[in-house]
Amino acid sequence: MNKREAWRLASEQLIKAGKIDGRFEAELLLRSALGESRARFFATLDEVIDEAALAQFRAWIEARLEGRPLQHLLGRQEFMGLQFKVTPDVLVPRPDTEIAAEVVLELIKEVQEPLVVDLATGSGAIAVAVAYHAPQAQVWATDISAAALAVAQQNAKANGVAERVTFLEGSWAEPLLAQGRRYHCVVSNPPYIPTDDIAQLAIEVQREPRLALDGGPDGLDCYRALIPQAWELLLPGGHLVLEVGQGQADAVAMLLQQQGFSDPTIHPDLAGIPRVVAAQRPRI
């Protein structure tokens, strides 16, 4: 079977199964099985595929039809212009989360040597992106999952920032609170899906770690846990930046104000949905 025919058949299967980007997904998976660039692939569509590559491609298509996330099959995902390793142990970095990283970068741009904390770092996407795009920053990142931290450490090394990102295992800010250090900015993309809504998510999302999805009955449990801890971590005048789920921005802003944070600001994602809430610990 040549590349053109394999691509066509797989595209039809994926589209029939409801994968609206099935043609592009089939291309990505076939190129990955072949180890080819896009230019090489399209220049040689009539070449016959060797049996090993064809077997790998068919296995990936079958897994995709069963609901395995595309990024888990490819083992990578782009975030803030960087490549990140992803596994079933971490949430796949999403474009919406780039908003949180961008807000952090804006808030620290005038700080000479900013100290930043990423709580529940997962793949390390925010921590690594902030360290990469703000070379003057030192970053600390926590996660309760040792497996997730292993992936995050690999991503820091692969993107050349391992010397400026410190990873610590533990719940929220607990590994840092005992150290007594204060920081300029704390950021988190916590689990925020209401428990009863998880069963309604796309099958690909349900395949991701439940620990990274489940935000409790109303989706706000993690904010209630982390906001008081983040307050203790921040220097006077420091900022807390939180990604939120659809419809949660006002509730999270209220939780921040109840803790004592001032001037919450809400930042929309590319679809115009309120996606990030940021607030400041008063200077006095």
The predicted-structure confidence for 149-167, as pLDDT tens digits, reads as follows 999 999 999 999 999 999 9
Q: CB neighbours of 28 closer than 8 A, spacing ≥ 6? A: 70, 74
User: Could you tell me if 84 and 25 lie in one domain?
Assistant: no
- Residues 131-144, mean pLDDT to the nearest whole number: 97
Least confident among 18-32, 67-81, 134-148, 210-224? 210-224
The predicted-structure confidence for 213-260, as pLDDT tens digits, reads as follows 878 889 899 999 999 999 999 999 999 999 999 999 999 999 999 999
User: Is residue 154, in this structure, part of any structural domain at all?
Assistant: yes
Query: Can you give the pLDDT at residue 124?
Result: 98
What band does 178 get if pLDDT is binned at 50, 70 and 90? confident
User: Is residue 271, in this structure, part of any structural domain at all?
Assistant: yes
User: Could you tell me if 191 and 238 lie in one domain?
Assistant: yes
User: Is residue 28, in this structure, part of any structural domain at all?
Assistant: yes
User: Could you tell me if 29 and 113 lie in one domain?
Assistant: no
User: Percent of the chain, pLDDT > 90?
Assistant: 83
User: Could you tell me if 197 and 117 lie in one domain?
Assistant: yes
What band does 209 get if pLDDT is binned at 50, 70 and 90? confident
User: Is residue 140, in this structure, part of any structural domain at all?
Assistant: yes
pLDDT score of 207 more than 80: no
What CATH number does the domain containing 92 carry?
3.40.50.150
70 versus 198: the higher-pLDDT residue is 70
Number of domains in the chain: 2
Query: Can you give the pLDDT at residue 216?
Result: 86
pLDDT score of 196 more than 90: no
Query: Can you give the pLDDT at residue 149?
Result: 97
Query: Can you give the pLDDT at residue 153?
Result: 98
User: Could you tell me if 235 and 143 lie in one domain?
Assistant: yes
User: Could you tell me if 119 and 217 lie in one domain?
Assistant: yes
User: Could you tell me if 257 and 143 lie in one domain?
Assistant: yes
Residue that is last in its domain, among 18, 41, 66? 66
Structure tokens at 59: 């296995």
User: Could you tell me if 36 and 121 lie in one domain?
Assistant: no
- Which domain, by its residues, includes 203? 76-280
Residues pairing with 214 in the sheet: 193
What band does 193 get if pLDDT is binned at 50, 70 and 90? confident
Residue that is last in its domain, among 23, 46, 66? 66
Query: Can you give the pLDDT at residue 217?
Result: 87
What band does 201 get if pLDDT is binned at 50, 70 and 90? confident
Answer whether 140's CB lies under 8 Å from 173's CB.
no
Query: Can you give the pLDDT at residue 22?
Result: 92
Residue that is last in its domain, among 43, 66, 89? 66
Query: Can you give the pLDDT at residue 210?
Result: 79
Least confident among 2-11, 43-52, 65-74? 65-74
Give the C-alpha separation, 192 to 217, whole Å: 10
pLDDT score of 211 more than 90: no
User: Could you tell me if 192 and 85 lie in one domain?
Assistant: yes
User: Could you tell me if 98 and 127 lie in one domain?
Assistant: yes
pLDDT score of 123 more than 80: yes
User: Could you tell me if 40 and 157 lie in one domain?
Assistant: no
User: Is residue 9, in this structure, part of any structural domain at all?
Assistant: yes
User: Could you tell me if 57 and 188 lie in one domain?
Assistant: no
Query: Can you give the pLDDT at residue 20?
Result: 86
The predicted-structure confidence for 52-110, as pLDDT tens digits, reads as follows 999 999 999 999 998 888 998 999 999 999 999 999 999 999 999 999 999 999 999 99
The per-residue pLDDT of the chain, averaged, comes to 94
User: Is residue 71, in this structure, part of any structural domain at all?
Assistant: no
